Structure 1
Amino acid sequence: MADPVPVPVEFVPAGRAVAEPVTKVGGRPVWLDAPQWPLSAESGEPMEFIGQFELPGDRLAYVFMTGDASDTFAPDGGENAVVVQPGGRMPPFVAGVRELTSGPSVGDDHLAVPGKPDEDGETWQFLGGPGVEPLWLQGEETPGEEAGEPWTLLVQLDATALPVDVDFGDAGIGYAFLSPDGGEGRFLWQCA
């Protein structure tokens, strides 16, 4: 059996506010349950919405990160969060949530379309899934790896290819993961 391959993805302007539960970056979340906008541990203010990503079983994973705070790169630093709906649980390091339908966002709505490798034949921005390995810039950081239960890569986002404003350091990559039971997520980033 062949190794699982990542699905290259690009994000293109939607030209409208997206209200469907689809994979996208920017805009505002399309909540499937009651809104759960995570708050920054440093400021107590709502984090910026990066995007939402479709999961099996008609679920979504919402990715957030604080705009100007330290420790946004750490998967459990309290300055980023992955919220899974329906049926997910909030990570224990999140300072709190607000029932907001809109809040800070990295930009306008952009929808996912099939992508293609760059001129070197490499793909740095892709949707993950079971068995898909991230392309690390600095070294292995898969959540759960040390405990022998690695989490599944949901998406790898290349800051240089995203059409929205994200700060993943110098030419950074963001990585979102799901726990083995699919009920919780983690987000982290590395830079070159």
Structure 2
Amino acid sequence: MTFIGQFPLPGSGVAMAYLFLSDEDGTFDPEGGENAFLIQSGGRVPSFVRGEVRRTGPALWRRGTDWFERQPVELRLDLKAPDEAAVAAFDRQVVFRDAALSGVPMEETDLPDVDCRSYVGGEPLFWQPWIPPEVGASWRFFLQLDGAEGCGEDAFALNFGGGTGYAFVSQDQREGRFCWDCV
């Protein structure tokens, strides 16, 4: 599996979540064994995660001079609060989603684009809200991470089929799940 990144968990203790994704099909499945969102310290490794001990392994990358060349990248991202326009656009998307899920028709013509689909906290904004990932009601949404092709202005490559990845944490913050959704 490729190491994608590490994310600090909220709370009084010091804990980090580590995201790993394979290059195989099935990374969309939260318990398919092709991804791992592991919690340390004090975390549990889910039974479906298999690995091997290695000093180093594949890491986050972007495309090189051609589509198949992989150039390793290291990024440090700082969180920032969104501006009012971004919050309003996101809230409108949530209203549209909730209306669609409850069977109330709405016009998509007034639906604003959401500029950033990568964020920590809040609630997930699924591409297909009528079939959300099967993680169970006891799992708390932690973050969502937009996919990218790794070329042009994309700082990295994550193949989510043009969609977005979602991380969830168990109530006791000892286990994680990761999946993705696209249109």
Match of 1:21 in 2: none
The normalised TM-score by structure 1 is 0.64
Which residue of 154, 162, 186 maps to 2:177? 186
Cα 1:186/1:156, change in 2 over 3 Å: same
Q: Give CA deviations for 1:7-44 in whole Å, capped at 9, x if unaligned.
A: xxxxxxxxxxxxxxxxxxxxxxxxxxxxxxxxxxxxxx
Matched residue pairs, number? 136
Match of 2:77 in 1: 112
Match of 1:136 in 2: 126
SS at match of 2:157: coil
Q: For residues 20 and 81 of structure 2, what CA distance do their matches in structure 1 show?
A: 23
Which residue of 56, 63, 71 maps to 2:26? 71
User: Does 1 or 2 have the higher relative contact order (CA < 8 Å, sep 6+)?
Assistant: 1
Displacement of 1:88: 0.3
SS at match of 1:186: strand
Q: For residues 171 and 51 of structure 2, what CA distance do their matches in structure 1 show?
A: 24
Displacement of 1:50: 1.0
Match of 1:15 in 2: none
Q: For residues 121 and 52 of structure 1, what CA distance do their matches in structure 2 show?
A: 28
Which residue of 163, 167, 179 maps to 1:172? 163
Cα 1:179/1:109, change in 2 over 3 Å: same
The one-letter amino acid paired with 1:111 is R
Relative to its length, the structure with more helix (as a share) is 2
Question: Which is greater in Rg?
Answer: 2
The one-letter amino acid paired with 2:135 is P
1:25-174 alignment, distance < 5 Å: 47-55=1-9, 56=11, 57-67=13-23, 69-98=24-53, 100-107=54-61, 108-113=73-78, 114=80, 116=82, 117=86, 120=112, 122=114, 123-128=116-121, 132-139=122-129, 140-141=132-133, 143-145=135-137, 149=138, 151-160=139-148, 163-169=155-161, 171-174=162-165
Question: Unmatched 5+ residue regions in structure 1?
Answer: 1-46
Q: For residues 137 and 106 of structure 1, what CA distance do their matches in structure 2 show?
A: 24
